[in-house]
Amino acid sequence: MTTEQGRFDAVASRDARFDGTFYFAVTTTGIYCRPSCPAVRPRPEHIRFFPTAAAAHRAGFRACRRCRPDTVPGCAQWNVRADVVGRAMRLIGDGVVDREGVGGLAARLGYSSRQLHRHLTAEVGAGPLALARAQRAHAARLLLQTSELSATDVAFAAGFASVRQFNDTIRMVYAATPRELRDTRAVPREGRQPDHGEGPERTGLVVRLGYRPPLAIGDLFDHLDRRALAGAEEIVGEPGRRRYRRTLRLARGHAIAEVDESSVDAGGGDAGGGGANGTANGTLRCRLVLSDPRDLTAAVARVRRLFDLDADPHAVAERLRAVPALAPLVAARPGLRTPGAVDPHELAVRAVLGQQVSLAAARRLGAALVAAHGEPLAAADGGLTHLFPEVAVLADADLSALGMPGARRDTLRRLSVALADGRVTLDVGVDRDTADRALRAVRGIGPWTAAYVRMRALGDPDVLPVGDAALRVAARGRGIDLRDTSGWSPWRSYGTQHLWTGGAGGRGPRVVAAYPDSTRDGDPVPGHGTGEETVR
């Protein structure tokens, strides 16, 4: 939303569609809120607008305790934008500043720290340190209200350099002491989880992940169910009540994440909400067991990316509904997401494993790779036994037992070496065009695999893998010319997902190969019929 009057209108109508896209502060109270805050509206002359929560903090405003503006879903524009500000915001959200400092963030982006600070301040009203501090404050609030960690442990787990800095920041952001914040119990007591015998070094907690409704949660779980790799992932329960569980490799250790399909809530919870127009933000419950609580921010960010929870389904639907051939698909599956990945390296490896084979075969290969080369957990947790293999391990591993063509094994090794030595960089802040070119330079990686990695691993919302056989079949069945999709931008990934999911006749396409790139020379080729019904 770019006009001031438009922002005033959104605040006046408590329109939750704009939660996270901007914030408003009240000069007479010194607090800032989300647009959907249910509190009485101030006079327009007492309102100031800010692009980020950090900008409001920087101006001296405190977070509203009623609407909790720090819990809103992330702004979808950062996923759309490919400039340095968009890339920086994605990396800050992944916790890079806490792990590598502002200098490390700037180096990743090819800028000096001063240049980066200038760009961010001009665009979002705060520099990288202020943005990271706002994120640390949110992580601290989650830990205070959902774990049994002491306040001192929370301070360092959230990334603060000292207890004093932690206390000062909490007081500034929330106008409360850590003890007072913990006693407010914004998350019900039942959300506070014991360790369940995992040991004192592991922290179990439940967080409610905010999203903008609608959310096609069943389609997300269907997608994950068809791809879950034994050992690293599992789906338990029946449709409607499934739980997706998986291991995560993080900077300081590992984690187990569990997301409950039946926990989807169209409004309220830790995400707040209550918009008068019925578009309040929803929440999805996620349980995390962390070997090091300092990885909380990164773990939450990875789960959010996997479930595409920062998407703006209203903006996507508005654009795609204008395409007559897509309108029925959009109406049939409101809130369809483009599933992401918890680890770009893992996604790229899995894409190569799936070249020229059915989805079921790709899944078997992935499970075999996990069992042979993944890092075992100290103790199994249900069906979870391993972390997905690191690319440095795969670069030197004996892959002959995997049972796939030698050419594809060579591609997998070349990709692993390129990722391990830095010739190919895949992370949320990488320049996507640069990553695409680097991937295609690896022999055996063709346009389709590069596009798939760009969509799933890098979160690009505007990808159309025109070489995909299933996509062509679905498009042809609906009279769509894939050479003319400019009207879908910047949401072509979502149009692609609708065609993959809805297919030519609404039952899903008959997919002929999991990934169609040739492993011989990287050129896209038609798939070979397997008779297997899948959806990408």
**How many CA atoms does the CB half-sphere of 181 hold within 13 Å?**
30
Residue 464: which CATH number?
Answer: 1.10.340.30
520 has pLDDT over 80: no
d(CA 267, CA 275): 9
- What pLDDT shows up at residue 71? 76
368 lies in a domain?
yes
The answer to whether residue 25 sits within a structural domain is no
- Residues pairing with 205 in the sheet: 288
Which residue's entry shows tokens 């269907």? 222
Total residue length of the chain = 536
238 vs 182, more confident: 238
For residue 192, count other CB atoms closer than 10 A to its CB. Answer: 16
In this structure, the dihedral spanned by the alpha carbons of residues 208, 211, 216 and 220, taken in order and rounded to 10 degrees, is -60
What tokens were used for 210?
Answer: 């905010």
Q: Which of 33, 37, 64, 67 is catalytic?
A: 33
Residue 258 lies inside a defined structural domain of this protein:
no
Beta-carbon count within 10 A of 51 CB: 16
Span 94-98, average pLDDT: 90
Would you say residue 507 has pLDDT above 50?
A: no
DSSP-assigned letter for residue 66: T
Kindly state the average pLDDT of the residues 510-526.
39
Band (pLDDT 50/70/90 cuts) for residue 400 is: very high
* 75 given a catalytic annotation: no
Task: State the average pLDDT for the chain.
Answer: 86
Between strands 31-33 and 62-63, the pairing is: parallel
Tell me which range, 382-386, 400-404, 463-467, is most confidently predicted by mean pLDDT.
382-386
Going by the DSSP 8-state scheme, the letter that residue 423 receives in this structure is S
Residues 6+ apart with CB under 8 A from 249: 343, 375, 387, 388, 390
**Among 292-296, 348-352, 379-383, 525-529, which stretch is predicted with the lowest mean pLDDT?**
525-529
Q: Is residue 472 part of a domain?
A: yes
- Is there a domain that residue 409 lies in? yes
CA distance 491 to 495: 7
371 found inside a domain: yes
- Lowest-confidence segment of 405-414, 450-459, 521-530 by average pLDDT: 521-530
Highest mean pLDDT among 21-35, 54-68, 504-518: 21-35
Domain assignment of residue 261, yes or no: no
CA angle 472, 475, 479 (to 5 degrees): 130
Residue written as tokens 């959300």?
191
- Residue 252 CA to chain centroid, in angstroms? 20
Is residue 114 within 8 Å of 152, Cβ to Cβ?
A: no
Within 10 angstroms of residue 306's Cβ, the number of other Cβ atoms is 24
What's the pLDDT at 363?
A: 97
What is residue 437's predicted lDDT score, i.e. its pLDDT? 97
What mean pLDDT comes out for the span 208-231? 95
DSSP string, 427-439: STTS-HHHHHHHH
CA pair distance 420, 416, nearest whole angstrom = 6
Q: In this predicted structure, what is the pLDDT of residue 530?
A: 30
- Predicted confidence (pLDDT) per residue in 138-152, tens digit: 889 888 887 778 899
Instruction: State the average pLDDT over residues 256-260.
Output: 98
Q: Is 462 a catalytic residue?
A: no
* pLDDT interval class at 258 (50, 70, 90): very high
Amino acid of residue 246: R
Domain of 420, in residue numbers: 344-502
Q: Give the pLDDT confidence of 280-313 residue by residue, as tens digits.
A: 678 899 999 999 988 988 999 999 999 999 999 9
pLDDT at 78: 76
Q: What pLDDT does residue 523 have? A: 34
Count of the separate structural domains present in the chain: 1
Q: Using pLDDT thresholds of 50, 70 and 90, give the confidence band for residue 199.
A: very low
* Residue of 19, 260, 310, 468 marked catalytic: 468
Output the pLDDT for position 155: 92
Residues in a beta bridge with 384: 231, 381
Whether the predicted model's global pTM rises above the 0.95 cut:
no
Q: What does the alpha-carbon distance between residue 195 and residue 411 come to, in Å, rounded to a whole number? A: 42
In a domain, 401, yes or no: yes
3-state DSSP helix/strand/coil percent for the chain, to nearest 5?
45, 15, 40
Whether 532 has a pLDDT exceeding 80, the answer reads no
